[in-house]
Chains A and B, each alone.
Chain A
Amino acid sequence: MLGTESLQYEVDWEALTRSNIARTKALMDEQDVDAVLVGTIENFRYLSGLPTNYTFAYSVVNWALLTMNEELPHLLALDYQKAAMERTASWHNPITPLPFDGTREARQPMDAGAWPALIANVCREAGVDKGVIALDPGIPFVIKDALVNELPTVTFVNACEILRDARFVKNEEELAAIRNACMIGEIGLRAGLKRIRVGAVEREVAGTIEQAMRTRGAENSLSVPFILSGDHPLLGYAYPSDKTIRNGELAILDVGCAFGGYYSDLCRTVYLGHPTREIEKAYEAMVKAIDRAIDTCRPGRTNIDVYNSLDETLRNETDGEHQLGWFGGHAAGLGINEEPMIGSSEKVNSYTLEEGMYLCIEPGLHLPGIGLMCIEEGVIVTADEPEVVTKSTRDLTRFR
């Protein structure tokens, strides 16, 4: 399929999907669930390997019903996309069309309309209308309520834990997609670093990054490059703005994109001008902290260990002047923020790290009056050495 061709890493979408399905079914079996029904962009991708138009308007228009007794899910999709989807992935079962015929299902605000009846039909045909069906947690209540009416002999439960546990660990094909996403993210970052300078406008830098990533095959348009310069009251809650980047400021470039639905997330810091020793020391401490923390990303360790490593190194290297807030990163995959979160033990759920997890470690500091500094790397937990999948230069980039 044009546009999601691999940049360097080949992705076998059929193998990726079958592997995800096998993992999900093992968890379904453990929980005595007969079927899982998904309808959100991420979870539909997880169980079908098929892309969706990345927009909230289309956030619930493609459905997959995975049953214990079948190898591939039953698929339902917008009727005018059906033929193209079937051509894209001919290894799938034929797709049941969902009409987009002037009723309200794909509208905002939405209404369940005719779709629950069609989904219910598929459930009946699949023989799961008397069992336990676990639902994608993102399914709107108007649809679930209609499904309950249509299928009174079904017990509906939440599939959140099954999907969370399934998505924790990425298979080899998923990791290949993630590596490609990281590479495209690096391309975007490089374009941003070339564009940024004193007098540049934050939005210009962000647009340059988005253009570079799109041109190389980034799929989505709904994660914004955060170009945040200087220090002002809205720092941390601001889109890249019309603010002009000035001498004497720090600026962060926090970028990421989706390749085949899988996200990268990376961040670098620049200083406009010649940094003071204080700024350099803080930066060196931050880089040391991330490297030590990356080293803790091993099977058997926990997400809390990773956080503690970040926090401890920062404190030690800055004589207590700098420390981390509760947040030091997150996992990613088909979602931008997945569990495990990298945070303190009082603040986040603890998970043991496993081979195949993909973490984004992002220590950040705020220097009052100067700005934010942050570095973020993507790390895959392997059987031995952690694999850093984001390769951009770590140097505190300086501009005169």
Chain B
Amino acid sequence: MQVTNGVTPDIDWKSLTQLNVQRTKALMEELDIDLVLVGAIDNWRYLTGLPLYYCIQWFVSNFAVLAREMTFPLLMPLEGPIAQMTKLAPWFDNVVPLPRAGASDAVTPAVPGPWIETIAGVLSGFGQSSHVVALDPALPFYIKDGLENALPRMEFVSAGELLRKARLIKNEEEIKAIRAACVIDEIAMDRALRAVEDGRTELEIAGIIDYNFRRHGAESSSANPFVGAGVYPQLGYLTPSNKVIRHGELVRIDIGCAYGGYYSDFSRSVSVGEPDAETKYIYDIVKTGLERASMAVRPGIMNYDLFTVCDKAMREASDGQYGMEWWFLGHGLGVGIHEDPMIGKEGSVEAFLLEEGMYFCLEPCITIPGRGMVGLEDDMIVTSDGVEILTRTGFCLTMTELGTIS
């Protein structure tokens, strides 16, 4: 089992993009697809390595087209300052900006405007013969409808299968970005755990996480940082909230951030004040499950085998009293937050044979009625002969015992 060492990301973005493009092109060949058009944040990043104005509004707002003969995709970024992105990445020499001025496509709710014409113009430039164009599955329907009208001789299909397969295995440059995201996650988690005390609110802890994400180079948080104290998260709906953390509660912190667009996802749980015997016991069960499942990771086993290992370890540690509460143990990550392979019970998740380069998290949890949830999560990558665990924060039930369980 290998432990992550790299903390300074020296990422060759050009190489990262080339490798992703090559992988995509091989699948285009296999699936008889002539052109791929991407537009959602995650797929844009995958094929270009470029960031964008990170704003949920612009979830689908920068497009890229990849044809089989290209080394790098053609970019269709939002015009203006955003088109300066080619200064960051001068290997992109084919750029057709999408208008922003007067483009009702660029606001919300989007009303069809000049974008369809611009995109159709670019696609039609790829030859007179009909082409099979695979579209980012998240593309708004009106764009597909508009393109079908404008280009009746092209066949539009979903690029979902292709992109899923491409993104399943991470290359070495992507893994560097992933390691960096995990390190930033650890820093934020460390600061957050140290800040947990009764009298603080969930939001205060979340604010500390937001600060550390930004300060240490994360581009974005994967979601609102989950800081759930006591039983409120089960009763409430969105955390973090104004709920005051109280002595005796369990606090579960589940956070993730993106570095260069690649996500981490990481959880620790901590008791406010000395935990009682039952809590220590249950904490140990969850920890055992996570550790055993992590150590079982290697190429050649099935994703659902990890669930079996985790469940079995928890039952053994508790004389059968506790096991996995539901079908879900973890999920893949990458430029997305929930990717393949899902890790869960056989029959509930699509089966995947684990391969080198797959990246996912494992997050077993047990709910203690009246106290809260014990959830522990780590990120890991399948290596050639085992696993590299990317998140290294120790397991501590109370902050006074960092690194140990009493």
Q: How far is the CA of A54 from the CA of B224 in the complex (A)?
A: 7
Name the CB-closest residue of B to A59.
Answer: B59
Partner of A55, one of B43, B215, B223, B232: B223
The CA-CA distance from A217 to B59 in the complex, in Å, is 23
| Docked pose: A160 CA to B88 CA in angstroms | 35
Contact partner, B336, options A57, A81, A145, Cβ 8 Å: A57
Please tell me if the beta carbons of B109 and A138 are within 8 angstroms of each other in the complex: yes
A337 to B56, CA, bound (A): 11
With A101-B348, A109-B138, A343-B101 already in contact, the answer to whether A338 and B240 are too (CB < 8 A) is: no
By a CB distance below 8 angstroms, the chain B residues around A60 are 138
User: Which candidate, A199-207, A244-252, A374-382, is the interface stretch facing chain B?
Assistant: A199-207
* B18 contacts chain A at the CB level, 8 A cutoff: no
285-311 of chain B: CB within 8 A of chain A: none
User: Which of A233-241, A266-274, A312-320 makes up part of the contact surface?
Assistant: A233-241
- On whether the beta carbons of B221 and A221 are closer than 8 Å, the reply is yes
Q: Please give, as numbers and ranges, the residues of chain B lying within 8 Å of A224 by CB-CB distance.
A: 54-55, 220
A364 to B356 alpha-carbon distance, docked (Å): 50
Contact of A160 among B60, B111, B348 (CB under 8 A): B111
Partner of B158 from A142, A210, A335, A343 at Cβ < 8 Å: A142
Contact, CB under 8 Å: A215 / B224: no
Task: For A111, list chain B residues within 8 Å (CB).
Answer: 137, 158, 160
B171 at the interface (CB under 8 A from A): no
Interface size class of A (residues with CB under 8 A): 35 or more
Q: Are A56 and B41 also in contact (CB < 8 A) when A140-B138, A210-B207 are?
A: yes
Stretch in contact with the other chain, from B7-15, B339-347, B360-368: B339-347
A9 within 8 A of B: no
Residue contact B142 to A237, C-beta cutoff 8 Å:
no
Complex alpha-carbon distance, A334 and B57, angstroms: 9
Interface residue tally for chain B (C-beta within 8 Å)? 91
Q: Quick one: closest A residue to B339, CB to CB? A: A108
Interface locus among A65-73, A82-90, A170-178, A391-399? A82-90
CB-based contact A81/B237 at 8 Å = yes
Q: Give residues 235-250 of B contacting A (CB, 8 Å).
A: 235-243
Chain B residue contacts of A204, Cβ below 8 A: 215
A-B contact pairs, 26 of them (CB 8 A): A42-B57, A55-B222, A56-B56, A59-B56, A102-B342, A108-B335, A109-B43, A110-B160, A111-B158, A138-B59, A138-B140, A139-B141, A140-B137, A141-B158, A160-B112, A161-B111, A211-B210, A215-B201, A222-B220, A235-B81, A237-B83, A335-B57, A335-B108, A338-B108, A341-B102, A343-B101
Q: A residues within 8 Å of B by Cβ?
A: 1-5, 41-43, 51, 53-60, 81, 84-85, 87-88, 101-104, 106-111, 135-145, 158-161, 163-164, 167, 203-204, 206-208, 210-217, 219-224, 233-237, 239-240, 242, 326-327, 330, 334-339, 341, 343, 347-349
Interface residues of chain B, those whose CB is within 8 Å of chain A, are 40-43, 51, 54-57, 59-60, 80-85, 87-88, 101-102, 104, 106-112, 135-145, 158-160, 163-164, 167, 201-204, 206-208, 210-215, 217, 219-225, 232, 234-243, 327-328, 335-340, 342, 344, 348-350
In the A-B complex, the 9 residue pairs with the closest CB atoms: A108-B336, A236-B81, A3-B241, A207-B214, A335-B108, A2-B241, A144-B141, A57-B337, A84-B237
